A and B are shown apart, each in its own frame.
Chain A
Amino acid sequence: MLRAEELGFAYTPERFAIRSLSFEVARGEVFGLLGRNGAGKTTTVRVLTTLLPVTEGRGYLFGTELRHAGRAERARLGVVLQSESLDFVSVEQNLTLYAFLWGVPRETAKARAEEMLELFELQPMRKRKPWGLSGGERRRFQVARELMHEMELLFLDEPTVGLDALTRRRILDYLAHRARQGLAIVFTTHILQEADQLCDRIGVLQGGRMRAVGPPGAIKRQYRGARAVEAEFERTLTDPERAQVRGLLASKGQGLVIVSDERGLLVFRATNAEDLVADLSRWAHGAGIDLARISVRETTLEEAFVTLVADDAADGGPADEGLP
């Protein structure tokens, strides 16, 4: 449905905005583009929607090379831009007028407008002009308006900015439902939790280059960095026992940070958390102390993202890296 092969866009030969992006989006797949401010997410969306020209590499939209993609390909797209776009009529008229622009029959448009007003909780402000709405309401309106017409691939550039948690969840659930029906979605966001929740695969952009591409789970495994371990002993450790434990962790732990060590509860972070859990269990068994519980907390996508971006900064620049 969408394929980028070493895709790039440069303002001038020396000044590129995105470079060497390679990824694919299949029917019914939700692909998340993550990155810091200025990483190139919006530029990528603009190039893929033909708003900006391809200056290097190739991109394919429904099998047509982006340089030759035109009306026919764009007619199968939906695009929610980062910048707010609106017409100077009421919310309801905006929806029906936009549907008219897309050639949606009048009766279908009216019915769909009602559905969108309901779904995006815009009914109370249907007669109001969109520029008089709050930021979150305007964002809801943007997404609702784009969903007025049929599409096969939907681009959403930061669609949930300014939305409260409940509304965000409602929109994400609806998008997941549409994806299950076959809609492909390309989604940029700063909120990594929602990318983790919604996306089948993600691409992490850094400095205009794709730093990593893969399912959120694979990204988290590869870039999980330090993980938190909580170990609770059956009884409070004596000072010599605590010293032994600390010595063990210090000798074997990588990137070790002891977060707390009180009354038999030990919390620490390390990049080799699983190894330390095994070492700690062996030590406890050898010392005849029972472990009430010991657990390694899962890495969040946010932690993996921070690790990835920090690694990149430490390495002095981004490099392409693919994940299964």
Chain B
Amino acid sequence: MRVPPVVRLVVRNFAATLDPITLLVMFGQPAFLIVILGTMFDQLIPSVGASGSYIAYLVPGMIASQMITGAVLAGRIFWLDRRWAMVEQIFSGPFLRAEYLAALLLTALLFSLVGVGIMVLVALPLIGLTPLSPLEVGAILGTIALGSLFFGGLLVAIGGRIRSANLYFTIQSLLQYFLIFISTVYYPVTSKTPVVLRAIVYANPLTYAANTVRDAFTHSFGSSDLVGASILGGLALGTFTLAVLSFRTLEMGPVQ
């Protein structure tokens, strides 16, 4: 049976980039944060809204942030493929640029979903999870998919325009920390939150993703989440378009 080109590229992406250290850093760090940060802050923060305990608040946020983990991996694969001329090598073979881009985004999505599974496994003994309805599971997976597409598209679009590894990885790190820390992943936005900070938090797509996942976990999924999903979907379409444009004008040749 002939394996479709996109699947071959996805398998190659996983096989060629997943070393134990990468896995440990990408999944170990958020799992570590759930255990340590969750346990430590749980003592200080008695309850957070509908979630109850702080750790129950943190877990959906960390699950939502997995979309960034997957996107970071896709961006890293793309950058290394450019650095080590695999982009040219693949483009000179039996693949379309669209297939390579689709494989990158699919890799980001699959990696994010694996991350979600790991976070749930880590969180289970700590908070226990009440059964979720098919709609709530669908909302979580849909949000992760849109978020992976948004962040993956963004990093690929940036990676296609920059010719310096230092610059790319600096931008990626800044973006990653900025998006995670100025969102509702770690803490809620309340009436006491400064207006400027509140505006920035709500301009961050990760906020909508974290809120949707959290609402699904607390069985309070509602119309505001649909609005959030629509915004995330629109933004994902935007970054996907940017990634396509970046690919169409991608300059071949060595990058440093």
**How would residues 283 to 313 of chain A score, 1 for a CB under 8 Å from any chain B CB and 0 otherwise?**
0000000000000000000000000000000
A71→B96 contact, CB < 8 A: yes
Taking CB atoms and an 8 Å cut-off, the chain B residues in 179-234 that contact chain A are none
* Complex contacts, B85 vs chain A, CB 8 Å: 81, 83-85
Minimal beta-carbon separation of B108 from chain A (angstroms): 18
B9 on interface, CB distance cutoff 8 Å: yes
Taking A52-B252, A85-B85, A101-B9 as contacts, is the C-beta distance between A74 and B92 under 8 angstroms? yes
- Give the total of B residues in contact with A, Cβ under 8 Å: 27
Tell me which of A51, A72, A74, A85 has the highest count of chain B C-beta atoms within 10 A of its own C-beta: A85
Q: List the A side residues contacting B93 at CB < 8 Å.
A: 74-75, 77, 79, 101-102
Q: Mark A93-129, 1 if CB is under 8 A from B, else 0.
A: 1000100111100000000000000000000000000
A86 interface residue per 8 A CB criterion = yes
Stretch at the interface among B12-20, B29-37, B145-153: B12-20
Are the CB atoms of A97 and B12 closer together than 8 Å? yes
In the docked arrangement, what's the CA distance between A50 and B89, Å? 11
Beta-carbon contacts under 8 Å, A25-59 to B: 46, 49-52
In the complex, the answer to whether A85 meets B8 with C-beta atoms within 8 Å is no
Partner of A100, one of B8, B86, B88: B8
Q: Does B26 contact A (CB under 8 A)?
A: no
B95 at the interface (CB under 8 A from A): yes
Q: In the complex, what distance in Å separates the CA atom of A285 from the CA atom of B8?
A: 77
Residues of A within 8 A of B52 (CB): none
- In Å, the complex CA distance between A97 and B90 comes to 12
Q: Which of A83, A85, A97, A101 has the most chain B CB atoms inside 10 A of its CB?
A: A101
Docked-complex contact B91 and A51, CB < 8 angstroms: yes
Docked CA distance A93–B14 (Å): 13
If A79-B92, A85-B89, A93-B15 are given as contacts, then 5 extra A-B residue pairs at C-beta distance below 8 Å, sorted by A number, are A51-B92, A74-B92, A87-B84, A88-B19, A103-B94
A residues with CB within 8 A of B: 46, 49-52, 70-72, 74-75, 77, 79, 81, 83-89, 93, 97, 100-103
User: A-contacting residues of B (Cβ < 8 Å)?
Assistant: 2-3, 5, 8-9, 11-12, 15-17, 19, 80, 84-86, 88-96, 252-254
